[in-house]
Amino acid sequence: MTRLLHRAIRGTMPVAIGGAGITLNDADGKSYIDASGGAAVSCLGHGHPDVIAALHRQADRLAYAHTGFFTSEPAEALAERLIEDAPPGISHVYLVSGGSEAVEAALKMARQYFVEKGEPQRRHIIARRQSYHGNTLGALAAGGNELRRAQFKPLLIETHHIDPCYAYRLQKPGESDQAYAARAAQQLEDKIIELGPDQVIAFVAETVVGATAGAVPPVADYLARIRSICDRYGILLILDEVMCGMGRTGTLHACTQDGVAPDLMTLAKGLGAGYQPIGAVLLSQHIFDAFAGGSGFFQHGHTYMGHPMAAAAALAVQDVIRRDNLLANVAAIGAELDRRLQERFADHRHVGDIRGRGLFRGLELVADRATKQTFNPALKLHARVKQAAMAHGLMVYAMGGTIDGRHGDHVLLAPPFIVTRADIEV
């Protein structure tokens, strides 16, 4: 009997004891192809010697120093590196221990920014229905996954949700991408006007939607319109790239492909590639300036923020990605993966949509392709798919998510960036 409280209390989990490259091994001697990087985390695969060596070096030198007393070399170096490669306007980095912490920090930073600017009346966060921003209370309030939120609603701050940009279900027949982008983005402007533009803090969205919908990219022009609406009303744009960022879509930041830069960006998962828990908030110069010229203090902080071991791991991950030109591999193998998924599943009667960017690909499962009818939630199809894949030694991220208030099932593939053409043939 285990004393560890698992996510699912009934049933047993295999015990992971090792891994190399795209493979994980359990204590019973079974091996699994990690086709999802866990939950889009393990972007360098398992047991990467350069990251492990960097961790050894850092542990020998310094494991921990509290950020209330010290900064550290790896944290400073990681911040430098992230700014070198950041979207335009981004000037500083705040380091935390994961995605939910990054979202919490970004929301609080956005709120304090307006306090620093003498606009303390601003209190509304706008987000989207089909989204996941983390499981802590602020992040859960911003998220739009009703399955995860429902029982905690009394504890959640009030947030406001508009529709996602979700072409498969929400684009009208015959409607151009341009027209759909305009219609979807208009919801943000309408919501801002409804709440009062001087009452709104920020709009938060995943650049490419991950956990609730399986790699749904925005249509062309959507994010550019969102950016200009935020600018028109003086509202901050927070892009959550915890899952889709750090190279997953073939560019370091997914929003680069949309030609858009946010005011705040959240990162985690692939940042440390699972070698250490780490997340980050990238913030733009004008936000930094408001703090620097105001109170001079961000009223936030966690004991493990800027952790030297985590920063050293993340820096080593970034070094490997750069040295081995892995983003080119993500783009090339990602395109090949898409081609093969289309070849195999485009006509499958239970696959409604195949989508994504780079090595971030999603399949939406439907009971009926013609009507896009979802499966009965009681079937828990996604859980069965995950279980069946595991039985065959394959890890895929299969999740249910609410779509327009209905249940949906999708499968997310997010293999490590080191994956080869031969690997995806299997």
Closer Cβ to ligand PLP, 261 or 281, answer by number: 281
Report d(CA 213, CA 223) in Å as an integer: 18
Within 8 A by CB and 6+ apart from 100, the residues are 133, 134, 135, 136, 139, 279
Quick check: helix, strand or coil at residue 351? strand
In angstroms, what is the minimal distance from the CB of 269 to ligand PLP?
6
Q: How many CA atoms lie within 13 A of 178 on its CB side?
A: 0
Closer Cβ to ligand PLP, 243 or 281, answer by number: 243
Report d(CA 102, CA 114) in Å as an integer: 19
Which of 37, 87, 98, 217 is the binder for ligand PLP (CB under 6 A)? 98
In the window 265-294, what residues touch ligand PLP (CB under 6 A)? 268
Name the E strands within 23-171: 23-26, 31-34, 90-96, 124-128, 160-162
Report d(CA 329, CA 129) in Å as an integer: 33
Q: Which stretch binds ligand PLP (CB under 6 A): 156-164, 239-247, 340-348, 362-370?
A: 239-247
Find the Cα–Cα–Cα–Cα dihedral 174, 179, 183, 189, rounded to 10°: 180
In the window 24-53, what residues touch ligand PLP (CB under 6 A)? 39
Which of 104, 221, 240, 364 is the binder for ligand PLP (CB under 6 A)? 240
Within 8 A by CB and 6+ apart from 405, the residues are 146
The candidate with the shortest Cα–Cα distance to 317, out of 356, 283, 362, 267, is: 267
In the window 100-159, what residues touch ligand PLP (CB under 6 A)? 100, 103, 132-134
Closer Cβ to ligand PLP, 271 or 321, answer by number: 271
Report d(CA 98, CA 268) in Å as an integer: 5
Which of 37, 45, 87, 99 is the binder for ligand PLP (CB under 6 A)? 99
Q: Which stretch binds ligand PLP (CB under 6 A): 6-14, 69-77, 174-182, 205-213?
A: 205-213
The number of residues making up the chain comes to 426
Closer Cβ to ligand PLP, 94 or 132, answer by number: 132
Which of 206, 221, 263, 353 is the binder for ligand PLP (CB under 6 A)? 206
Q: Which stretch binds ligand PLP (CB under 6 A): 61-69, 150-158, 206-214, 385-393?
A: 206-214
What's the first-to-final CA gap in the chain, in angstroms?
Answer: 36
Q: Is 334 in the site for ligand PLP (CB under 6 A)?
A: no
Total number of residues binding ligand PLP (CB under 6 A)? 15
In angstroms, what is the minimal distance from the CB of 242 to ligand PLP?
3
Q: Is 210 in the site for ligand PLP (CB under 6 A)?
A: yes
Closer Cβ to ligand PLP, 233 or 304, answer by number: 304
Within 8 A by CB and 6+ apart from 315, the residues are 54, 74, 77, 78, 81
Which of 236, 243, 287, 403 is the binder for ligand PLP (CB under 6 A)? 243
Closer Cβ to ligand PLP, 189 or 241, answer by number: 241
Which of 90, 95, 200, 211 is the binder for ligand PLP (CB under 6 A)? 211
| Contact criterion met (CB below 8 Å) for 269 and 39 | yes
Task: Using CB positions, name the residue nearest to ligand PLP.
Answer: 99
**Contact footprint for ligand PLP (CB under 6 A):** 39, 98-100, 103, 132-134, 206, 210-211, 240, 242-243, 268
